[in-house]
Structure 1
Amino acid sequence: MNAALIHFYSKIETEYKIESYSWNLFTDLDNIPEQDRLLIRYENYALNTFNSNTLRKISAENEQMITYFRQRVETTKNIHLLSKYYHFLLNISKNNSFASKAIEYYQQVLSYYLSIHNQDFQTLHFSKTLGIIISISMRYKIQKESLKKQINNYLYNTTLSSKIKTFIFENIRDCKMFESGELAHYPELCIELSNNDNDSNIKERLLNLAVTFSRKTTNTELFKKANELLGDLEHKKLHPLDDNNIAISHMNEGHYENIINYYKIAGNKDKQSQATRDLEENKKHHKYIKIESKVAVKDAQKVNDLVNECLESFLTNSSEVIILKLCFDNGSLSFPPYEHIKTTTRQQMGKSISHQFFVPKLTDINKNTITISHEQFGEHQFFHIFLQNHTLPFVVELLKRTIEKRKLSYPKLKRTLLKTAFGIPYEISRGVDKIEYNWFSLIDIGLKEFFTQFSNAIKLKPTDWRFTIDFLTPKFEAILREIVQLSGGEITRVKENGDTELRPLEELLNIISIKEIFNEDDLFFFRHTFTKVWLNIRNDVAHGLCKPCDYSLSKAVLVFLCILRLNKITIQFAKNSSTHGTL
């Protein structure tokens, strides 16, 4: 056996753990002969998260892999490797006999994480491992009763923390392992654990679990009790009123609405009435920023006619020209220029003194607040109002007409974008494999879903923008990072301890090299849409903060336009090509 391969096996034997980054174990493999790299690829398949698509792609190698991993389970002593090997064998062989072996070693891994659950993120690792065991047990119908007994032993073990029990409850909340009668004691246990814990996050999660379990067991009394306690807990999120911070009363309003709803469900009319009175008193402290806007419209019909004329002129273009206009804008989409935004905002601030008496704060959908400058607040507020009243109605109507006239569709967008920078092939390494891709392949199904939902909107059918926004948002950042790299910018930074990390999106948008590709209008639009200075869609999507009601057509259109605006890199590529003879 090659020395480098022996070193690799030794490395994974001593270092591999299920809930740790395994990609670094597959580096420095240059000295491994080509014939042995196949084995490394097998290991890569087994030790990383495998899904149905991966399994389908590698199905032709199943017999060789089964033989290989049967040998590996005889030689390794690492319980993390053994659990993954047997789980992988179970998936590729469809041999149910591997299920019990997979559970056996996952149980040993579970015990390992349980023994160190008070360290760092080990409770989360314990939870994920338990979830895997439950999924195998449920799918292959094995060890169900013993697993239920084990879970109950954990839940009633007085030496374990409320935190780890919360994760256990969340693992069994949505699975069908327990019958309704077996859940009868859980609502009371969740409430008891919540009462005895000081962590507000854990308390709230436990009370929500109590609500879920009491609903499943039709325990009306505990259902009401848990909701009343949630109302009491929500009280602790209220902020003391401060005349120097106009945001606080608005933040408190959301908490009061939650409190009232909890007490209403609990049937506690006294507390509900008191909270309603407190809400009305809180509203008396609301203050608003008044931005004076005077637009003389002498002839509204004439304005409408001009807008309609502009829209109709779009339709005289070919599909390809329409798509390129959507990409490059150049003033055709009714976006206000940044220079105009900045000038107007400064003029308004010069005429007002209100900004001298408060610090502007933004509250996100999760009730977190950030402080921004008066200039930023004024600029983005102006931009937001203009978008809502002018740009978005214009663009939505434009998309509607071009789609109805069959000037714009997903296949036509795909054909056009593949002729641009989005169609240029790139090559990356994944383990020992070389993968070819282009930027369009990163966004294809997100764009397709955008057109599906927009067509539903045109037909006045129900729409669901969740996939469009959740899928395209991280792809915007992914492509932007590659554009920064291609422009010579750095996408990583070095921390004080010498480690490296990815630069956040806010920093990427300030890198000098991309200002040769995107102008201030583009960068302002990107910041407004994705960063914390306004909509913050990137953060909300990345942290899973959005609820179904937070997804809208307007946000989807903005994300869609930002994706297309990235295509301005095509212009830069064309310049470089004409100058240097290469892209």
Structure 2
Amino acid sequence: MSSFNIQSAGELGDYLDSCWATWNSSFSKLEVLRTISASISPEYTELKDIVGLEHLLLGLYFDGSEVRSGVVATTTEGETVSSPGLENLNPRAFEYIEFRAASSTNHFLKARYALLLWNAPKPYKNGRFGKFAFDELLAALSIADCVGEAQHDCVEALDTLCALSELFRHRPGEIVHELISRIDARSPFWLGGRVFLAQMVVKYNKLFNKNVADETWLQACANLFEECLASNEFHLCDELGNAAIALAQRNNISPKDWYQRLGQSHEAQAASRLDDESGLAPLELYRLALEHYRHTDDDDAIERVSQRLMELKPKIRLNTVTTKLSNEHAQQLHADIQQNTSQVLSMNSDEIYYYLTASKAVIPSLTQLREQTANEKDSLSAILGTTFMDGNKNTQRGASEPGAAFHQRVMRNYGMNMSFRLLYLRPIFIEGTASGKLSYESLRGYLESSWVSSSLREIDTAGVPLDYSWADLVYPSLREFFLQLGSSLKEGIEPSFVMCLDSLTVKFEGLLRDFARHAGINTTVVGRHDDLREMYVDEILEQPKIQSLFDEDCLVFFKYVFLSSGKNIRNDVAHCFYRHLNQYSLDKMILVICAFLRLAGFEFNSEAVTTA
């Protein structure tokens, strides 16, 4: 019988039974079905319909015990569409599936037809089909080519068997044996597939918890891990180690040994990547090794890897990416900046400071940035993940959760947007200072009516009231800023913003804490050792009442200037990470002053805190 001369449903069934040898891998057979359909004479309409039905059924695939559409695509309008599924079938189609489940002589096909019926709508859905599918698929697995081209297909078949056994509590001992014998290599199976199977033990925890001793399984995984490490299959080590840690923690077994193994794997991988030109690969891998070793008692490993990280940091080399504007666009930008500067400096001093305090042109709009980010097409980095590096060459992995990853993309765009706005703010400060519109005296006059200059009171431990004003604490740094900028403009010398940036940055934290207290917001929390401590800046900014007093754009600006989501100036100043004078830049001073002005732009009264 030739596949090009099929003239009945029985011949079609016999042909499929004779050649089908996989669970989910069906592409080559689907091509044959298309050829068969094209070769059938037009008068055989019923046979053509059956071939079309088989093409639909065999194009579906199974994820565990559930059926999925064979083709899923996204239209140009962003709409997700898929090929027809079981919900599109009529009663005659389900009768045909029942017939084939009973009459087929192919274990794979009998299992497929039965599992389709288990996923079918009522009245066709029945638990006996799920158990029948398990029995047939287990029989098919015994004759499957699990060490050849179909090895991935066998992993998917085992996944379905685990799902069905757990769901129906059906023949669990046999499927557990099938997996464990492959994980520990008693039955031949490829290395990557054995790791996939180990992950299934975690995935189907209910099935394996009752049928496998944890220590037995973990020892099998330990042996498998050594094989992966010896083969330099570091990604398999990572997947296997994380699975073992999850199961150990779930069953109250110490995962320290597995953190130790993952540390060794990342350390070995880092050593193999020392020829990386940028130095980023070994730096990130040693960081991961250190992260894992810290969950162990191996102080020597922690010291060794920490030393390697310290040695690698000076060797980091990153390429610089620049975007050059055309002469026409550069001239347009320059003209726009000049026009904006002229408009702002045409105001009087108080109006300029109020512009810096309250204008929406000074800081980005988070709503607009979210819309912009949402409309961006996903880049390769969004698929592969991202590692961030701060100014001190410390790395941090990008968030994997969709919401957190989106926020990181928003903040990346925020930083670029703020850098663009600094092009407009910089000449306002420079030309404003040169013309005398901006000065320490005029800024002090502007602040005289703010809460920063008002007299505040606190009670000491002896019950004695103490009066103080933040003006005495912040004015010296503002005076130093204008002194340095003015001298630089007049004499052409390099300004030093060290004292003013250090002082005003630290004072901002104190101002924010005092502001919160006077607004009736608690700033004290219980620390890790059950001791009372003051909240950190990020914790204060997350307080609901603080978020009700400031608009979202202002709060995000504070976080961008002072915290790790942006410039992280507060951390870098507090820990003395700025070691070069050019790190104490005019741009950083502008950001801190604008943040200070927005915080100062509130006033206290006897009942509440209100905007000035």
TM range (shorter): 0.3 to 0.5
The higher radius of gyration belongs to 2
Higher RCO (C-alpha under 8 Å, 6+ residues apart): 1
Q: Give TM-score scaled by structure 2 length.
A: 0.45
Q: Which protein is richer in helix relative to its size?
A: 1
Q: Give TM-score scaled by structure 1 length.
A: 0.47
